[in-house]
Amino acid sequence: MFVGILHDQLPNPHCYDWLTSPGQNLRVQEAHTLPQLDWGAHQRQCALVALEDVKAYLTEDSGQIAVFDATNTTRERRALILNFAEENSFKVFFVESVCDDPDVIAANILEVKVSSPDYPERNRENVMEDFLKRIECYKVTYQPLDPDNYDKDLSFIKVINVGQRFLVNKVQDYIQSKIVYYLMNIHVHPRTIYLCRHGESEFNLLGKIGGDSGLSVRGKQFAQALRKFLEEQEIADLKVWTSQLKRTIQTAESLGVTYEQWKILNEIDAGVCEEMTYAEIKEQYPDEFALRDEEKYLYRYPGGESYQDLVQRLEPVIMELERQGNVLVISHQAVMRCLLAYFLDKGADELPYLRCPLHTIFKLTPVAYGCKVETIKLNVEAVNTHRDKPTNNFPKNQTPVRMRRNSFTPLSSSNTVRRPRNYSVGSRPLKPLSPLRALDMQEGADQPKTQVSIPAETSLAVHRLSSPASPTLLF
């Protein structure tokens, strides 16, 4: 029995950016007068205008996924969308959120609709009454997706009572399967995610990156301050996650609670630059230092990882965070940047330069249409490990790093994170690097003039996830 459709449970487009598939949410702003029979032409015109934006985004802006957020509750409206997709060779995946639980509907209106751009400040006192009337009007024309007969050939998922049950029909490709995976892992229950870095480490004091050093004296003081903070918060059923590196484990040990170690939460692998200072990297590998400054997100350390690699590595953590309640994640600077970028919807240009200072807690509260963030700095001094984005002073004829990200330096092994990384500086296996690896590339070329041989078993590991043959539309 139909009572309401919760359209605002559609996933935000940043979940697709996380999968290296550019996405955009295109929303049909509908008037707040109740649906009338003579209003159909107006609705249709609004939908057509929005679909033209979809077309422009997918064909002109190199988009891969568009979220068309509207009241597609009739077969006529869905036929309009399907015809549009067929004309433009787009794939379509419908998301229908159905609710017949009055308590869930009321909670959804208060939690979601009050934050909705549909309701300006002046109308929020009447949100409940107004939206219940809208539901009653939509019930008159609502035609649910029919997996047994009329809609058996369509690709879609029904989300019933905000995740109590799911019905999935005819998933066509990898991207659609990831959408299903995402929707089946999220929930709308109140929760808080706490993100912080480990306490200041010995290598932080020395200005060295990577490695597996322990906490400094001030780092241990932070761990105690973190324990006091958590005790004062009295957080119900708090889970604590750490990486498998010593500095996060030592921080968690001081909390006096059970914690879980995640190998994929380990810091970004700096390859041959592990346990070096930035000054040492600039002196020994000046070309690598310059290339990383040019495009920090895509640059991969020789024998190590890029931020793009790290984003892919962290996907299981993201999905698990979406499923959980209250969680404290004690991680590292690069890892924390990736997690913040996901929840705060930051792009690849911003991600590597997000400020994640030591001894600071980020309190994230997921809400409809975004995520509230509160920064809490504990009163323990620490070194500053942040490097600002450099000014762009690269030669105009130099090929951007994005053209070489999959052509050079494959991951050192299928096991991209090593623990412990405790080899000494003197015995680090340094290999000679080709000078100015990107400078000999012709502008616009995907391959260097000198062919670089990459073993077949590792080349698969460094290529981006394959894009679908056709762009995907999500409704």
Task: Name the pLDDT band for 413 (thresholds 50, 70, 90).
Answer: very low
Same domain, 197 and 173: no
**Beta-strand pair 4-5/360-367:** unpaired
Check whether residue 39 and residue 120 sit in a common domain: yes
Among residues 15, 17, 96, 99, the one annotated as catalytic is 99
Whether 32 is covered by a domain: the verdict is yes
In a domain? residue 428 = no
Domain final residue pick, 162, 187, 212: 187
DSSP state of 380: -
Q: Are residues 35 and 9 in the same domain?
A: yes
- Residue 472 placed within a domain: no
Per-range mean pLDDT, top range of 35-49, 103-117, 205-219, 384-398:
205-219
Domains contained in the chain, number: 2
7 catalytic? Reply is: no
Poorest-confidence range of 31-35, 224-228, 347-351? 31-35
Q: Looking at the domain assignment, is residue 456 inside a domain?
A: no
- What is the pLDDT averaged over residues 270-275? 97
**Sheet harboring 193-197: ordered strands across?**
260-261, 239-242, 327-331, 193-197, 360-367, 370-377
CA 325 to chain centre: 18
Please tell me whether residues 113 and 204 are part of one structural domain.
Answer: no
Q: Tell me if residue 99 is catalytic.
A: yes
Q: In the prediction, which pLDDT does 223 show?
A: 98
Q: Which of 141, 167, 187 is the last residue of a domain?
A: 187
pLDDT at position 474, please? 65
In this model, does residue 20 exceed pLDDT 80?
A: no
Q: Which pLDDT score is estimated for 420?
A: 37
pLDDT of residue 415: 40
- Do 346 and 233 lie in one domain? The reply is yes
Q: How confident is the model at residue 125 (pLDDT cuts 50, 70, 90)?
A: low
Of 139, 155, 187, at which residue does a domain stop? 187
Q: Is 147 among the domain residues?
A: yes
Q: Pick the residue with more confidence: 14 or 376?
A: 376
The answer to whether residue 449 is domain-embedded is no
Q: State pTM to two decimals.
A: 0.74
Same domain for 107 and 183, yes or no, is yes
Mean pLDDT of 423-433: 39
Long-range contacts formed by 177-185: CB under 8 A, 24+ apart: 178/19, 179/11, 179/93, 179/95, 179/474, 181/319, 182/11, 182/15, 182/319, 182/322, 183/11, 183/95, 183/157, 183/159, 185/319, 185/320, 185/322, 185/323
Confidence grade of residue 117 (pLDDT, cut at 50, 70, 90): low
pLDDT band at residue 151, thresholds of 50, 70 and 90?
Answer: very high
Answer yes or no: is 220 within a domain. Answer: yes
Mean pLDDT, the chain, as a whole number? 78
Q: What is the mean pLDDT of residues 354-371?
A: 92
What CATH number does residue 259 fall under?
3.40.50.1240
At 121 the pLDDT is 58
Q: What percent of the chain has pLDDT over 70?
A: 71
The residue that leads in pLDDT, 271 or 398, is 271
Looking at per-residue confidence, does 473 or 46 come out higher? 46
- Mean pLDDT (whole number) for 267-285: 97
Among candidate residues 69, 151, 269, 295, the one labeled active-site is 69
- The reply to whether 178 and 208 lie within a common domain is no
Higher local confidence (pLDDT), 364 or 9: 364
219 and 295 share one domain = yes
**Highest mean pLDDT (candidates 222-236, 417-431, 449-463):** 222-236
Tell whether 180 and 209 lie within a shared domain: no
254 and 140 in a common domain = no
Same domain, 175 and 224: no
pLDDT at 40: 66
CATH of the domain at 58: 3.40.50.300
Each residue's pLDDT tens digit, 202-251: 999 999 999 999 999 999 999 999 999 999 999 999 999 999 999 999 99
Residue 187 annotated in active site:
no
Range of lowest pLDDT (32-36, 258-262, 366-370): 32-36
Q: Say how far apart CA 258 and CA 416 lie, in whole Å.
A: 27
Full residue range of the structural domain in which residue 208 is found: 193-416
Identify the pLDDT of residue 374.
97
Question: For residue range 288-347, what is the model confidence (pLDDT) as tens digits?
Answer: 999 999 999 999 999 999 999 999 999 999 999 999 999 999 999 999 999 999 999 999
pLDDT category at 453 given cuts 50, 70, 90 is very low
Distant-in-sequence, close-in-space partners of 240: CB < 8 Å, separation ≥ 6? 252, 255, 257, 258, 259, 260, 327, 328, 330
Q: Is the pLDDT of residue 456 over 90?
A: no
Question: What does the pLDDT read at residue 475?
Answer: 61
pLDDT at 17: 47
Residue 417 has pLDDT above 90, yes or no: no
Q: Do 89 and 35 share a domain, yes or no?
A: yes
State pLDDT tens for residues 54-82. Answer: 888 888 887 888 888 887 888 989 999 99
Higher pLDDT, 204 or 8: 204
Catalytic-role residue among 198, 294, 305, 356: 198
| Out of 154-158, 180-184, 340-344, 410-414, least confident range | 410-414
In a domain, 465, yes or no: no
Binding site listing for substrate: 197-204, 247
What DSSP string describes 195-237? Answer: EEEPPPBHHHHHTB-SS---B-HHHHHHHHHHHHHHHHHT-TT
